């Protein structure tokens, strides 16, 4: 039987791999591949264009349709080591917790799955258990679409997916979408003493951003009356902005990264239409001075939300797995909704019913001294044991 000590040992290894989003992850992926292939699992890797990053999809059990996917992302968010009490890529066990980047989001869940893999391999499973690891979820969701496209091409059709995000052991049946963009404004530089003879990319970027944020009230009005989300409406955030050369120079370039978290696709379409009108007006002004001025928006990702579905096989599965033993140890049966975005929306769009459930607290996930409670890992193991028993003959 898999033990929490085995989970902790595996987690130590996973944390030691620096897999910050947009950087290579092959050391971790090859490690996991070797572990699973040694158990007889069928393992397929799908790569990005640079072949420095890969997704992993492994199958344990019969080669038939259906089964359950246990999915996590291999990447983590960046760190500033100076903000950490201990080295971020060295697991530190103390006070009933494990500290390290990715402990909660979401290598703790992955460690539990890998600890259970030998148990699954020894069972007479009636349907397969699949294990999925993706890359770059934290910055653009670049990996999962490649993995899901490969599954579709290969004719692999799982019946449900459990995405092990740090939900605090709560079942999550719906979440908002995540649309991410970079907008670049190109103007014409000049001396700040004669601003009318130049086109300030910074000033026009500010007006564009102001127009976006002014839609906040409209989003409040458009939010469904019974929106279950907190906050209820579609929201915006401009996360980074950069431009200009100095105080006395009119800036010819400015770019900014921004996102919206749509409650419904109609909100996203409304925002795009409104911003296109504003952008056209701004460009008329800019190009009257400098005809080559431009405003260009590059889509990083547009990930639709996980839609609530009462008849979801993934939710039905969780109701079976969250039996009295799991609940008594801390697992939660009530189904929640959340405002952040995950790969679950992509799985659902690919025809694989999905649900979020995993150990760890999202509130500590992207912060210095990220940690996971050992007790959470024990509950996760308990549920994964139930899964094996449920799927075995």
Element (H, E) at 275: helix 265-289
**Residue whose token pair is 């969701």:** 141
Q: What is the pLDDT of residues 335-363, one digit of tens each?
A: 799 999 999 999 999 999 999 999 999 99
Q: How many of the other CB atoms lie within 10 Å of CB of 332?
A: 17
Overall average pLDDT of the 76-86 stretch: 97
Residue 277, classified by CB atoms within 10 Å of its CB into exposed (0-12), middle (13-18) or buried (19+), is exposed
Catalytic residues: 75, 137
What is the CA angle 304-309-310, rounded to 5? 165
Give the residue carrying structure tokens 């290579």. 24
The string of pLDDT tens digits covering residues 156-213 is 999 999 999 999 999 999 999 999 999 999 999 999 999 999 999 999 999 999 999 9
Report pLDDT for 324.
Answer: 61
**3-class SS of residue 311:** coil
Domains defined along the chain, listed by start:
4-175+305-391 (3.40.630.10), 178-303 (3.30.70.360)
pTM: 0.92
Mean pLDDT of the chain: 96
Q: What is the pLDDT of residue 393?
A: 79
Contact status, residue 163 vs residue 356, Cβ threshold 8 Å: yes
What pLDDT score was predicted for residue 335?
79
Phi, psi of 194 (to 5 degrees): -130, 65
Residue 329 pLDDT exceeds 80? no
Is 334:85 a contact under the CB 8 Å cutoff? no
Token representation of residue 80: 């500033």
| Residue appearing with tokens 């004719």 | 155
Give counts: helices (H), strands (E), the chain. Answer: 11, 17
Better pLDDT: 190 or 322:
190
* Residue 76 contacts residue 365 (beta carbons within 8 Å): no
Give the model's confidence band at 331: pLDDT under 50 very low, under 70 low, under 90 confident, else very high.
Answer: low
Mean pLDDT, residues 4-11 taken together? 99
DSSP H or E segment with residue 369:
none
Looking at residue 322, what is its pLDDT?
A: 87
């Amino acid at each position: 039987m898999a033990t929490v000590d085995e989970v902790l040992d595996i987690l130590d290894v996973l944390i030691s791999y620096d897999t910050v989003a947009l950087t290579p992850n092959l050391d971790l992926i090859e490690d996991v591949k070797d572990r699973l292939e040694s158990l007889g699992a069928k393992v397929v890797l799908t790569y990005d264009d640079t072949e420095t990053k890969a997704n992993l999809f492994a199958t344990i059990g019969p080669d038939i349709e259906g089964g359950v996917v246990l999915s996590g992302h291999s990447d983590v968010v960046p760190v500033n080591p100076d903000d950490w009490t201990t080295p971020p890529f060295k697991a530190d066990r103390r006070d009933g917790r494990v500290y390290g980047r990715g402990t909660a989001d979401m290598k703790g869940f992955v460690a539990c799955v890998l600890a259970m893999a030998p148990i699954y391999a020894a069972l007479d499973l009636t349907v397969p258990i699949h294990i999925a690891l993706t890359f770059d979820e934290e910055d653009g969701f670049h990996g999962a679409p490649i993995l899901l496209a490969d599954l579709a091409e290969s004719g692999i059709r799982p019946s449900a997916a459990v995405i092990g995000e740090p939900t605090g052991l709560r079942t999550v049946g719906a979440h908002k979408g995540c649309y991410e963009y970079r907008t670049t404004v190109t103007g014409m530089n000049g001396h700040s003493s004669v601003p009318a003879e130049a086109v300030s990319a910074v000033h026009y970027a500010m007006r564009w951003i102001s127009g976006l944020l002014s839609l906040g009230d409209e989003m409040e009005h458009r939010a469904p009356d019974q929106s279950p989300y907190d906050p209820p409406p579609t929201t915006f955030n401009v996360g980074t902005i950069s431009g200009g050369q100095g105080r006395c120079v009119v800036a010819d370039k400015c770019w900014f990264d921004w996102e919206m978290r749509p409650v419904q696709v109609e909100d996203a379409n409304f925002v795009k239409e409104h911003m296109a009108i504003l952008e056209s007006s701004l460009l008329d002004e800019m190009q009257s001075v400098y005809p080559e001025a431009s405003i260009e928006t590059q889509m990083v990702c547009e990930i639709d939300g996980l839609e609530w579905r009462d008849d979801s096989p993934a939710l039905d599965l969780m109701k079976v797995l969250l039996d009295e033993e799991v609940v008594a140890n801390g697992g939660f049966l009530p189904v929640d909704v959340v405002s952040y975005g995950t790969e679950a929306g992509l799985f659902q769009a690919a025809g694989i019913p999905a649900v979020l459930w995993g150990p760890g607290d999202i509130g500590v996930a992207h912060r210095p001294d990220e940690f996971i409670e050992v007790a959470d890992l024990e509950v996760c193991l308990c549920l994964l044991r139930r899964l094996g028993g449920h799927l075995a003959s």
